[in-house]
């Protein structure tokens, strides 16, 4: 197949992405991530993953897409905006913006399914798998390679015109298409995220996150009690944390999302301390079913609230 056909195919893929509401789409070559393998190994060795033992699982799959999809040629990378129209948690305990509405896994999985059937409809017998924050896939690395942004000092992917409030998804397939060029790092000398993190989760120069100190980890992933060293440092976050995105100058370009499913649920954003406190397990599960908060669960949120007081 000539280069011209590859370029055309790349454009066709991006058109589908736009039609399905994705913010950006880029393509990377499917190849083994040797550099990343070394970095991941070191990150795990330092225990920066805390209790997230799954980060150490399937190491070989994580660094080699051809082990997930034999014969894989490309990794199609997609971003999906979740920036809300307004910052909702003014008075009560704070919830990260990505969790205001319906669980993003469900919303984006459905779009990926449609995406995949459209690719099959267009190109016939192709083999592949799609992932949204699931499975042993390093989405940020691929998105960076595909030119969707650079990995900032806060370790998140930052797009120079859109900021960082979006979900990442990837489609690994044996479909061949023209890859995109990465864009360069635009963090410069800025260190707002490093300085603003209340728990000091970033390395001195940024780019490395000790997740075991990250408020997002402490309020969601950590199954045991939050260690005492973090008392008074949680800044009212009860589920997740957005501080390193809030202070990032690139997020002044963030535009509100257009996704009905991400509209804030009153039981996530309109809750006072008392409202949260008065919830029992049953009302928690009834009102918060289908939201990301179910990942932490009732008891964990209750513990987080106690820790904030």
What are the distances in angstroms from CA 225 to CA 135, 191, 228, 237?
27, 30, 9, 15
What is the distance between the terminal CA atoms of the chain, rounded to a whole angstrom?
63
3-state helix, strand, coil in the chain (%, to 5): 45, 15, 45
CA distance 297 to 241: 17
Catalytically annotated residues: 133
CA distance 284 to 254: 31
Cα–Cα–Cα angle for 8, 142, 58, nearest 5°? 130
Q: Contact, 93 vs 305, CB < 8 A? A: yes
The closest alpha carbon to 275, from 62, 149, 95, belongs to 95
Max distance between CA atoms of the chain, in angstroms, equals 64
Q: Contact, 170 vs 142, CB < 8 A? A: yes
The closest alpha carbon to 186, from 208, 162, 170, belongs to 162
The closest alpha carbon to 170, from 114, 124, 117, 112, belongs to 112
What is the chain's length?
309
């Amino acid at each position: 197949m000539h280069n011209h056909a590859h370029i055309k195919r790349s454009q066709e893929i991006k058109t589908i992405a736009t039609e399905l509401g994705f913010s950006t789409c880029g393509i990377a070559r499917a190849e083994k991530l040797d550099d990343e393998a070394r970095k991941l190994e070191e990150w795990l060795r330092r225990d920066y993953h805390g209790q997230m033992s799954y980060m150490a699982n399937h190491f070989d799959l994580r660094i080699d897409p051809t082990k997930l999809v034999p014969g894989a040629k490309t990794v199609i990378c997609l971003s999906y905006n979740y920036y809300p129209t307004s910052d909702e948690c003014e008075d009560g305990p704070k919830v990260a913006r990505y969790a205001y509405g319906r669980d993003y896994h469900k919303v984006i999985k459905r779009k990926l399914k449609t995406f995949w059937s459209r690719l099959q409809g267009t190109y016939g017998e192709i083999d592949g798998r799609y992932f949204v924050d699931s499975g042993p896939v390093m989405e940020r690395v691929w998105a960076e390679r595909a030119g969707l942004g650079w990995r900032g000092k806060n370790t998140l992917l930052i797009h120079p015109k859109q900021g960082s409030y979006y979900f990442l998804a990837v489609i690994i397939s044996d479909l061949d298409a023209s890859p995109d060029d990465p864009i360069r790092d635009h963090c410069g000398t800025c260190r707002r995220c490093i300085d603003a993190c209340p728990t000091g989760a970033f390395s001195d120069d940024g780019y490395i996150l000790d997740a075991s100190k990250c408020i997002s980890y402490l309020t969601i992933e950590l199954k045991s009690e939050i260690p005492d060293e973090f008392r008074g440092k949680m800044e009212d976050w009860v589920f997740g944390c957005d501080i390193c995105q809030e202070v990032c100058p690139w997020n002044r370009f963030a535009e509100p999302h257009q996704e009905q499913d991400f509209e804030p649920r009153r039981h996530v954003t309109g809750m006072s301390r008392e409202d949260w406190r008065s919830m029992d397990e049953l009302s928690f599960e009834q009102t918060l079913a289908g939201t990301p908060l179910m990942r932490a669960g009732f008891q964990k949120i209750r513990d987080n609230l106690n820790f904030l007081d």
